[in-house]
Amino acid sequence: MSVPRKELDDMHRTLVLPDRVRRVVSLVPSLTEAIAASERGLLVGATQWCTHPGDLDVVRVRGTKNPDVRRIVELAPDLVVANKEENRELDVRRLTEAGIAVWVTVVEDVEGALRSLDRLFTAALRAAVPDWLVSARRQLSGPVPEPSRCAVVCVWRDPWMVVGGRTFATDLLARAGVGNIYRAHPDRYPTVALADLRAARPDLVILPDEPYVFTADDGPEAFPGQAVRLVSGRMLTWYGPSLATAVPILTTQLR
């Protein structure tokens, strides 16, 4: 007989969970990959944006910003995994009111990501810490180097938006030796005029392939005469198994 227990998520909300979580719906692509890499059998639902692993065969519950609450309830999960930044408070509330436990993660830097992932597995899922998370902590636990270059990191165009302060991506880039020009900006993802981005004269303009899909033909032409690097958005912004290799891969892509 399963004995209910109480746990606190990253928002310090009290959740009542079964002794053993057996059915999980994930509303966060990086967390979907994280769970699938270690406890795949738990996943019964995920968003259409949950693209890793590519062979994941679960019910799709629409997107991160418009999840199908009714379908999620029908799946009868023991737990729904969400994120403060990626998912709407409204959807978390609707699921909670429907009697579904929703574990909300909060990730604003690398150490916070490692800590949040550890708690997701050990406290929420009562599972072992995955090997990839052990490797990621070993890879990322050293001192943060002094930046050798400064960069602008664009995440959208028309209007142009960049990575600002208190973000996981800014912290991860710092560990690759690259400083973010907008790291002190009060907004996490400020809108900045293209003329101002050019005038900032960064050593690098970094264009990831998500959330906006920057490509060799869409993005670099806006920064004539400047060093532009196309990088993997998954390596730059996802906090899951990619953490174990993100820094060396980004270092190579940013050369």
CB 173 within 8 A of CB 161: no
pLDDT band at 125 (very low <50, low <70, confident <90, very high): very high
Distance CA 56, CA 238 (A): 17
Q: What is the pLDDT of residue 1?
A: 54
Q: Which fold has domain 149-253?
A: Rossmann fold (3.40.50)
Reported as a pLDDT band with limits 50, 70 and 90, residue 141 is confident
pLDDT of residue 2: 67
Looking at the predicted structure, is the pLDDT value of residue 3 above 90?
A: no
Minimal CA–CA distance to 37: which of 236, 238, 232, 250?
A: 238
Q: What is the mean pLDDT of residues 36-55?
A: 97
State what percent of residues in the chain have pLDDT above 70.
99
Mean pLDDT (the chain, rounded)? 96
* Cα 245 to Cα 250: distance, rounded to the nearest angstrom: 9
User: Hey, do 5-138 and 149-253 end up sharing a CATH topology, with the first three levels equal?
Assistant: yes
Q: Are 23 and 44 in contact (CB under 8 A)?
A: yes
Residues 144 and 58 sit within 8 Å (Cβ to Cβ): no
Which H or E element spans position 137? helix 131-140
Task: Tell me: pLDDT of 189 over 60.
Answer: yes
Residue 86: pLDDT above 60?
A: yes
Q: pTM of this prediction?
A: 0.94
Q: Where are the domains of the chain?
A: 5-138, 149-253
Tokens at residue 203, please? Answer: 């050593």
Q: Which one of 3.40.50.1980, 3.40.50.300, 3.40.50.620, 3.40.50.150 gives the CATH number of domain 5-138?
A: 3.40.50.1980
